[in-house]
Amino acid sequence: MTLTISRLALAALALSVSILSVEPALAAVACGSGNFDAWLADFKTEAAAKGISQQAISAGLAGVTLDQSVLNRDKSQKVFNQTFEEFSGRMVPPRMTRGSNMMKQYGSVLSRIEQTYGVPGEVLVAIWGLETDFGVNTGKFATIRSLATLAYDCRRAEQFRGELMDALRIVQRGDLAPADMKGAWAGELGQTQFMPSSWMKYAVDFDGNGKRDLLHNAPDVLASTANYLAGYGWQKGKDWQPGSPNFAVLQQWNKSEVYSKTVAYFATQLAHAP
């Protein structure tokens, strides 16, 4: 993905070390114990106990190994220190023409989405462009492997253990096959980069084809993003500038004020585009 700062990475900077704590019967092998295979076997047992099918567990976790490159990235995150002027100046102008074209191409879909969820198309297209260049750069990391690696590592084990469970639920529900689940290094999936927990909660099948597909299906991508924002209290018909209630909702999408201001700026530019 072209965006250099993931929402998860930004949020992680504020998190303290999280040590895995589960029922003793399911935690014979602790996080970071030096034996990933034994840890994974215990995880499979817990997943089954939580109602995930053996088929989904086997399909999702067969042959999964630790990815040291993911741990290296997680441990080398740097504080985001670009100003709004720097970040927006780098991210918005190269995406304006394509963004305007997307507004036209998906105009009828965006109109129906706004009627359903109350979120304007400009905001959705701005997020889409900033996250993955409108679906061009969704990431190439194997999602389940990344999540298993981060769940095994003790830094945020409990958080990623939950995300790994939800990744298996995505498989079980039939939204995606494990081989198709590729995204950013920290487990974000799809054209607007949903963590699996957000996928399970907010992904919608907007075109009615029977699957929630945020990797390949633009109507599902845009509607699911709108559903996420609506779920955090987006107010229909209100503006999204800093200081407004809707700007606070954008900050639930990304805690970085610079990023949220850039979404708001990009959306405003799209609203005024010919």
122, 131, 163, 188: the active-site residue = 131
- Asked if residues 198 and 230 have their Cβ atoms less than 8 Å apart, the reply is no
199 conformational bin, left if phi > 0, alpha if psi -120 to 50, beta if neither: alpha
> Cα–Cα distance between 27 and 21 in angstroms, integer?
8
> Cα–Cα distance between 155 and 75 in angstroms, integer?
9
Structure tokens at 262: 């850039």
Task: Note if 188 is an active site residue.
Answer: no
Q: Give me the phi and psi of 20, to 5 degrees please.
A: -60, 130
> Cα–Cα distance between 143 and 161 in angstroms, integer?
13
Name the nearest CA neighbour of 196 among 183, 209, 207.
183
**Catalytic residue annotation:** 131
